[in-house]
Chain A
Amino acid sequence: MTEERFDAIVVGAGMSGNAAAYTMASRGLKVLQLERGEYPGSKNVQGAILYANMLETIIPDFRDDAPLERHLVEQRFWVTDDTSHTGMHYRSDDFNEPAPNRYTIIRAQFDKWFSRKVRAAGAIVLCETTVTELALDAAGKVIGVHTDRAGGVIHADVVVLAEGVNGLLGTRARFRKVPKPEAVALAVKEMHFLPEEVINERFGLTGDQGCVIEAAGTISRGMAGLGFLYTNKESISLGIGCLVSHFAATLESPYALLDAFKNHPSIRPLLAGSEIKEYAAHLIPEGGFKAIPQLFGDGWVVVGDAAQLNNAVHREGSNLAMTSGRIAGEAIAAIKSRKHPMTSDNLSLYKAMLDKSFVLKDLRKYKDMPALLHTNSHNFFTTYPQLMSQAAQNFVRVDGTPKIEKERATTAALIKARSRWGLVSDAVRLALAWR
C-alpha cells in the first residue's frame, strides 16, 4: 500500500467525503478513501433530513436503492413554553410528487449505501483506519497522510479533508483553528422505535409519508438551541442541540435537557410506548460564513463540516457537505485532466466554483445571524416564546374579558418584558441578519 501513489486521498467517509470520492473515482482518478469507523457511518450522527436535489446531482438514480425512510409531506414549526406550543404546520399534497424533495434517513445505513456506490465507482475504501497526521514536504505542501496502521506515508497528489466538524488533521497542520465554543452546537439525540402504523396514525400519515417538527423556545432554557422530532419508517429521531458556549455558561446537562424535551406535554404523547435503542451526541458547526476557514492550499482542500459549511438557520448541513465534496472532486478532476499540479493556485478553482453555488451564497446571506442569536439568546428562546404563549392563550381562552382589554394586556406584557426600544431593536436586527 505504501508504495502505491494515489491521485487523491479522501479522509472521511461521511457525506462530503463520499461525494468527493465518488465524483473523482467516477471520472477515472485513482482514489483512496480512509475512514476511522468500523464501517462508514458508524461515527456519524444526523437528524436526519436528506435533501434530494443535491444527491440527485451526484447519483441521479439514488431512489432506486438508497435506504430512504419517509418522504416529507408536512413540516411543523413550534414555539414552546413549559406547558404549550404555538405552531405553524405546513402540509401539502404537492410533496407527494414522483421524485420527492426531502426524505428522512438513518445515517449509519445511508452512509453504508453511499460507500458501496463509491467502491463501485472504483475508489479503494479502507475502514478502521484513523489518519493521524498529514505528511508535508519541506515547502509545506501536503504530499500524503500518516495513519495508525503499520507502514509509512501514503502518498497522493492531493488530500481532501472531509473529516467532519472536529477536523483534527487540519488543526494539527495549522490550516485552521479548533472551532470556538460559540461556533458549534452540541446535539444529543435518541432513536425511539414504534410500529409503522402507530407512527402513521399519530401523525396522520399514509404509506411512506413523513412529518417533521422543529421546536424552539423554553425547551432550550435560554440557550440558543433547537429541538427536533423526525419520523422514520419505524422509528422517531428525537434530539435537541444548543451552543457549546451556552452549555458551559449555564451548566445545563445535555441529557437532562433531552429528557425534559421528551417529557414536554406536546411531545410526550407522540412518543408514548416507544422503545429507545440508541443515544448519540455530535457537534454541529454554527459559526456560519464568518467561521469558514481557508478552503484550499498546496496539495489539500477542505470540504463539509470541517470547513464549517453548515447552514444553521435552515438546518441544512449534509447537502452543503455533499455539494462541497462534489465540487472539490470536479475541480480536482479538471486540474488533473489538464495535467496541472495540485498547487494552491490551481486548487483555488474549488473556491471559485463553490462561490458560484448555493453553498457560499446561502451562508453569505446569513453571515450576521450566528452573532445575533449568540448574544440575544435569552430573548429569542425564553422571553418571546413565553410572550407568544400568553398572547395565544389570551386570544383563545373565552372568559368574559372584553377583547380590547385582552389586546391591551398582550401589548403591555410585550413592552414590560422587553421595553419598546428592545422590541424595535430586536426586530430590526433580526430583519438585517435575515436580509
Chain B
Amino acid sequence: MTASVVRIEDKLYQNRYLVDAGRPHIKVRQHQSPSPNLLALTVVCPAKCYEVNEDGQVEVIADGCMECGTCRVLCEESGDIDWSYPRGGFGVLFKFG
C-alpha cells in the first residue's frame, strides 16, 4: 500500500537505553549457513538487531534490543542463539511502555 521506507533507527532513537558495553545479553552460535529461523530474525526482530554479514553468517548487535523475546522463542531451542536478560538496570528503559 504505502511504499514509504521505514527506518528502524529513527524509531529506536526515541527510546532510552542503558547499554552494558562489552556484555551482550544475546549471542549467536557459530554456524556455516544460517537456519531458516535464524535467517528470519533479520526481518522479524522488531529492533533489527540481526543482520547477515559478509561471510553469510547471521550476527546480532543487541544495543537496540527491546528484550521482547521473539528471537528466543524462534531460535533458543535449536541452539542457534543464547538468550538472557541484560544485567539488572541495563538494557531498554521504557518511559511509557
Interface string of B1-31 (1 = CB under 8 A from A): 1101010100110110010000000000000
CA distance A256 to B6 in the complex (A): 6
Assess the B97–A186 pair: CB atoms within 8 A: no
Nearest-CB residue, chain B, relative to A251: B43
Assess the B87–A244 pair: CB atoms within 8 A: no
- Given known pairs A107-B96, A248-B37, the reply for A43 and B88 (CB within 8 Å) is no
Assess the A281–B66 pair: CB atoms within 8 A: yes
Interface string of A166-200 (1 = CB under 8 A from B): 10100000000011110010101011000000000
Nearest-CB residue, chain B, relative to A82: B1
- Given known pairs A38-B89, A254-B44, the reply for A280 and B72 (CB within 8 Å) is no
Note all chain A residues with C-beta closer than 8 A to B84: 168
Assess the B96–A279 pair: CB atoms within 8 A: no
CA distance A46 to B93 in the complex (A): 14
Note all chain A residues with C-beta closer than 8 A to B60: none
Partner pick for B18 among A38, A106, A111, A181, CB 8 A cutoff = A38
Note all chain B residues with C-beta closer than 8 A to A188: 46
Note all chain B residues with C-beta closer than 8 A to A280: 15, 66, 94, 96-97
CA distance A373 to B94 in the complex (A): 31
CA distance A281 to B8 in the complex (A): 13
Instruction: Give the interface SS of chain B, mostly helix, strand, loop or mixed.
Output: loop
Cβ of A148 within 8 Å of any chain B Cβ, yes or no, is yes
Assess the B14–A276 pair: CB atoms within 8 A: yes
Cβ of B61 within 8 Å of any chain A Cβ, yes or no, is no
Shortest beta-carbon distance from B66 to chain A in Å: 4
Assess the A252–B97 pair: CB atoms within 8 A: no
- Given known pairs A130-B85, A260-B2, the reply for A184 and B67 (CB within 8 Å) is no
Partner pick for B43 among A42, A82, A252, CB 8 A cutoff = A252
- Given known pairs A107-B96, A178-B76, A276-B14, the reply for A283 and B70 (CB within 8 Å) is yes
Interface string of A14-43 (1 = CB under 8 A from B): 000000000000000000000011100111
CA distance A282 to B92 in the complex (A): 12
CA distance A291 to B66 in the complex (A): 25
Shortest beta-carbon distance from B92 to chain A in Å: 7
Assess the B6–A259 pair: CB atoms within 8 A: yes
CA distance A43 to B96 in the complex (A): 10
- Given known pairs A41-B97, A248-B44, the reply for A283 and B4 (CB within 8 Å) is no
CA distance A280 to B12 in the complex (A): 9
Shortest beta-carbon distance from B13 to chain A in Å: 9
Assess the A108–B95 pair: CB atoms within 8 A: yes
Interface string of A260-287 (1 = CB under 8 A from B): 1001100000000000111111110000
Nearest-CB residue, chain A, relative to B91: A43
Cβ of A416 within 8 Å of any chain B Cβ, yes or no, is no
CA distance A29 to B7 in the complex (A): 50
CA distance A283 to B69 in the complex (A): 7
Within 24-72 of B, Cβ neighbours of A (below 8 Å) are at: 37, 40, 43-44, 46-48, 66-70, 72
Note all chain A residues with C-beta closer than 8 A to B87: 130, 148
Cβ of A165 within 8 Å of any chain B Cβ, yes or no, is yes
Interface string of A231-251 (1 = CB under 8 A from B): 000010000000010011001
Note all chain B residues with C-beta closer than 8 A to A264: 1
Cβ of A59 within 8 Å of any chain B Cβ, yes or no, is no
Cβ of A355 within 8 Å of any chain B Cβ, yes or no, is no
- Given known pairs A130-B85, A180-B73, the reply for A247 and B2 (CB within 8 Å) is no
9 pairs of A and B residues whose beta carbons are closest in the complex: A128-B89, A107-B97, A281-B46, A279-B11, A128-B88, A166-B69, A281-B68, A108-B97, A254-B46
Given contacts A191-B96, A244-B74, 11 further A-B contacts (CB under 8 A): A38-B89, A106-B96, A107-B94, A108-B96, A108-B97, A179-B73, A190-B11, A251-B43, A252-B43, A259-B2, A281-B47
What are some 7 contacts across the A-B interface (CB < 8 A)?
A38-B93, A165-B69, A264-B1, A277-B95, A282-B66, A282-B68, A283-B69
